[in-house]
Structure 1
Amino acid sequence: MMTRRIVRTGIQLAGLVIVVFLLVFFLDNRYRVLPQSVHSHLPLHHEGLVITDLTVQTCSSLNPLSKCMLDQKKWHRVEKDLYLGSGWVKKAYVHIKRKREDELTADHKVIVDVRIGKLDPATGEKEEAAEKWESRPAGIWIKTSLKRHASDSKKAVTAVDILFGADAVEPRPGWELVKNGALHLESAKDSRDPRISIRRGPPNRHEKPIPKIRKDGKFKIMQISDLHLSTGLGVCRDPEPKGANGGHCDADPRTLEFVERVLDEEKPDLVVLSGDQVNGGTAPDVQSAMFKIIEPLAERKIPYAAIFGNHDDEGTLSRAAQMSLYESLPYSLSEAGPNTIDGVGNYYVEVQAHSSKHSALTLYLLDTHSYSPDEAHYRGYDWLKPNQISWFKATADSLKDAHSHYTHKHLNMAFIHIPLPEYASPDNDRVGNFTEPATSPAFNTHFKDALVEYDVKFVSCGHDHVNDFCGLSKDPTTGEPELWMCYAGGSGFGGYGGYNQFHRRLRVFEVDTNQARISTWKRLEYGDIGKRLDEQIIVDSGRVVPIQTSNQEEGA
């Protein structure tokens, strides 16, 4: 009897699950009840497909019966509301028709170009035979072609995406933003400046770069933290000095102008993006915000590794979705890491020696999560989990065995977003500003002890924007230096700052493998912009050392 009852209950539960699934599937097809983030994970850019038509469907956001979707058997919707939810009474979506390239016949048209705004085909761009411009809603013009020779494959548009903001950029190889600006929506005051991005031909393949020590034995790492980029120009918070540029301040352009200037002056070999690249609350389209820091790095062919802060995933894309995007971008070394441990972005980067494939440096990057999962007992921020620390130890053990065969002194370093509790220790010697309390986790899992045990020379974080010090932890028994704990300082005008005339900044580490030496300094957005601030040697002859002034001259 008991067995029959269990079987019957199981069948009933299975039936209920199927009914609920079908109901949700039906409602989502008709009314799009699932969140946008779910649809963002669905495949958008299929290989072997070409775009044959493109249009915009506008509908009422007040009408619950309005699905704002064209016939799904013919059209595919790009899952980004062109108003990004800000339209008072309207929403709108770009729709595309797609067809497999090998199924096209001579009478099938394909899109070979897209433009926005006024375009008179009679006097505009020269048309080739069998090509013509056609008008579509929202100021879109599409150029279609009937020619389907093999040489046309590179001309055909094969993917369409939407980015937002007057400062939108497109760092993906093979992609380009459509000319002449934003789409013309019916309610311009609600517009987020949506822009069409297109790809022609097949997707570009790119290999991960392999960072190597330079011929002179040096390797420079720039840590950029707390950019707080938005969808659109962004609003400056606490800009210093307040009267710069006549008091006018657009957050993201000013932030990126600063970063690009220092990139060109320092010429780093690797950039670490140490969290809060995106200001979740002001970035309804995370992709557009992310791309703004990727574009200058890709343009300069600088490899980069990213981890997350507590604000990155407060918008529409999860950590996993963002990391998947990072992994697909050019010059990215970023990885999701093992899915068997907590967090997204627990991984390491090896830097090879100049003349061999042997590792000279290892960078460990870990996800410090966001907010406390137990506010009743531990207010504030989350902490590194025991399984992350176990992963770090196992990985370090494995790499230590591999590095033991090399004759040179191998150097280890680590990057996180939220500072460790030991950052606030009054026993630390410090160089730099300690302007605000260290907002570290209230619960201590003692990751700092694991870093010391496995000979990591320094750990550097972000999070506290107006702290920029390096603090030296010493062995409590012997008083010997054991680990430098540094802050990058906040770089972005979209995040808070400005305390005590605190200017935005970022941190540079330079490794000299010939001397087994690590030096570090900061660069300012305003003021002594050509100087190295608080330059110091933190590792010498492979050993963590007390506070030392660098014997290098100041200057960029």
Structure 2
Amino acid sequence: MKFREDGTFHILHITDIQEIPEVAEDTLTLMRRALDAAKPDLVVFTGDQLKGYSKKFRKKPGQVEKTINRIMEPVVSRGIPFAVTFGNHDEQSGMTNDEQMEIYRNIPGCVDWLNSRGQEILHGTEEGTFAVGIRNFEETQTVMAVYLMDSRGDAPGGGYQTLNPRQVFWYKGARDTFEQEHGRLIPGIVFQHIPMPEYYRLLKKTDKKTKGAVRTYRTHANEYYVLDPEKYRSGSFKEAVSIPDNNAREFESFREKGDIFAVYCGHDHRNSFVGNCGGLDLGYTPSCGFNEYGDGVNRAAREFIFHEEDPAAYETRLLTYKDLVGGKPSRPFRDFAYSHIPATKEEAVAKIKKYVLFTGLAIAGVQAVRSVYKRRKK
């Protein structure tokens, strides 16, 4: 894998497709249009390709493989290489990530340590964790590294699992291997599903009366945040940043030698903001799939353009359904519902409590009015 003759390398980041066996046509349309607009050299999928908790995956055998092949069709038909890691919902389909990776490996174009075909690939501690070296156009040296990290899944008792320490150790080993092989640090970008706790450093704590304030949960329970104007560059913040309860110190590891210049994730479907914290870009790509909650026609894929002489000076933009397709989704009422449902269990509970309180007050108000009316009649 190498830079183009014009000195650029293009990546398309797609995340949170969260599809079921009856794949939404709008999902495939967005993918096709984004691929044609970006014409990437590599497509990176960062998990939750499957809406794993859907009962439809258990109705009859072969549904996982059928769905994976269907959502990969736009990439395969264009002959574009792709790399895959996993989210917290993929394994809920009843098939392990290891088993799913075997399906991906059999799809033409899958970039993987067993399908290296002469590429520089460093395999990680588990499937979905690996690094790919990107060479210059002349193929005389590696000038950039693309890391994929499996950020693991749901934690017992709620929340999300912390990144395994061995994954952090693996990253350090891969970084040092690149440095030893090439005589210098290789600048890199990391893609994973769940954001690091440090994403909160791009936010500013406020109160619930502030316009645009978003309520957060678990380790930041009952707090409200907005984007910090001094740290973020672009994008929107529309739902709580959902992070593991414990910090694996991944951020500190990435900053240790300064080789990593950016980390991008998915997971929080309605978020798309990008900012910088301590010299490290932290960014979101919103969800792509239309069979799960999302930001309406602002569902998107993210395009990256890297430059051979300085990969850290990259360009990025969102390729939204609104811009690429226009108009409304093919199933507007269904999408309206998906655009307004709670993003997490904690948010759902909070909204239910608010609804119950509002309903109770409304009923009490009606009863009070009726009582006054009856007394007046007497």
Same fold by TM (over 0.5)? yes
Partner of 1:266: 38
Q: What is the SS of the residue equivalent to 1:323?
A: helix
* CA distance, structure 1, for counterparts of residue 178 and residue 300 of structure 2: 33
| Contact 1:353-1:359 at 8 Å conserved across structures | yes
* 1:308 and 2:86 matched: yes
Q: Return the letter of the residue paired with 1:225.
A: T
Partner of 1:402: 181
Look up the SS of the partner of 1:313 in the other structure.
helix
Which of 49, 52, 67 is the aligned partner of 1:277? Answer: 49
Identity %, equivalent residues: 31
From 418, 421, 434, give the equivalent of 2:194: 418
Deviations 1:506-535 (A, max 9, x none): 1111101135421111111014769xxxxx
Q: What secondary structure does 2:13 align onto? A: strand
In the TM superposition, 1:171-182 aligns within 5 A as none
Computing the radius of gyration over CA atoms, which structure comes out larger, 1 or 2? 1
Change (3 A) 1:338 1:352: closer
Residue pairs, 1:3-402, within 5 angstroms: 211-233=1-23, 252-282=24-54, 283-284=56-57, 285-335=63-113, 341=125, 343-373=126-156, 375=157, 379-402=158-181
Question: In 1, Cα distance between the equivalents of 2:160 and 2:297?
Answer: 24
Match of 1:439 in 2: 242
- Superposed, which structure 2 residues align to 1:481-496 within 5 Å? 482-496=279-293
Decide whether the 8 Å contact of 1:335 with 1:345 is kept in 2: no
**d(CA) in 2 for partners of 1:483 and 1:223?**
18
Between the aligned partners of 1:287 and 1:512, the Cα distance in structure 2 is 36
**Paired residue type of 2:107:** L
Instruction: Show the counterpart of 1:85.
Output: none
- Structure-2 change in CA distance of 1:225 and 1:339 (3 Å): closer
Rate the CA distance shift 1:287–1:403 in 2: closer, same or farther, 3 A: same
Give 1:506's aligned residue.
Answer: 301
- Structure with greater helix percent: 2
Give the match's secondary structure for 1:314: helix
Shift of 1:264: 1.0
Secondary structure in 2 aligned to 1:464? coil
The AA in structure 2 aligned to 1:512 is H
Q: Distance in 2 between matches of 1:319 and 1:353?
A: 32
Q: Provide the C-alpha distance between the structure 2 equivalents of 1:230 and 1:357, rounded to a whole number of angstroms.
A: 43
| C-alpha displacement of 1:357 | 4.4
Per-residue displacement from partner, 1:80-126 (whole Å, max 9, x unpaired)?
A: xxxxxxxxxxxxxxxxxxxxxxxxxxxxxxxxxxxxxxxxxxxxxxx
What is the CA-CA distance between 1:322 and the residue it aligns to? 0.4
**Residue 34 of structure 2: SS of its match in structure 1?**
helix
For structure 2, the 5+ residue unaligned runs are 58-62, 115-120, 205-227, 327-378
Counterpart contact for 1:523–1:529, Cα < 8 Å: no
- Contact kept in structure 2, 1:326 and 1:334, CA below 8 Å: no
Task: Report the Cα offset of residue 344 of structure 1.
Answer: 2.7
Q: Which amino acid aligns with 2:267?
A: H
1:450 maps to amino acid: S
When residues 310 and 515 of structure 1 are mapped into structure 2, their CA distance, relative to the original with a 3 A threshold, is closer
Question: In the alignment, which of 455, 472, 475 is matched to residue 276 of structure 2?
Answer: 472
- 1:312 partner letter: D
Runs (4+) off by over 4 Å: 335-340, 527-530
* Aligned match of 2:363: none
Provide the residue aligned with 1:523 in structure 2: 319
Structure 1 residue 328: Cα displacement: 2.2
- Which residue type is aligned with residue 13 of structure 2? Q
Q: 1:258: Cα distance to partner?
A: 1.0
SS of equivalent to 1:485: strand
Task: Give the 3-state SS of the residue equivalent to 1:321 in structure 2.
Answer: helix
TM value normalised by structure 2: 0.71
Q: Tell me which of the two structures has the higher relative contact order, counting C-alpha pairs closer than 8 angstroms and 6 or more residues apart.
A: 2
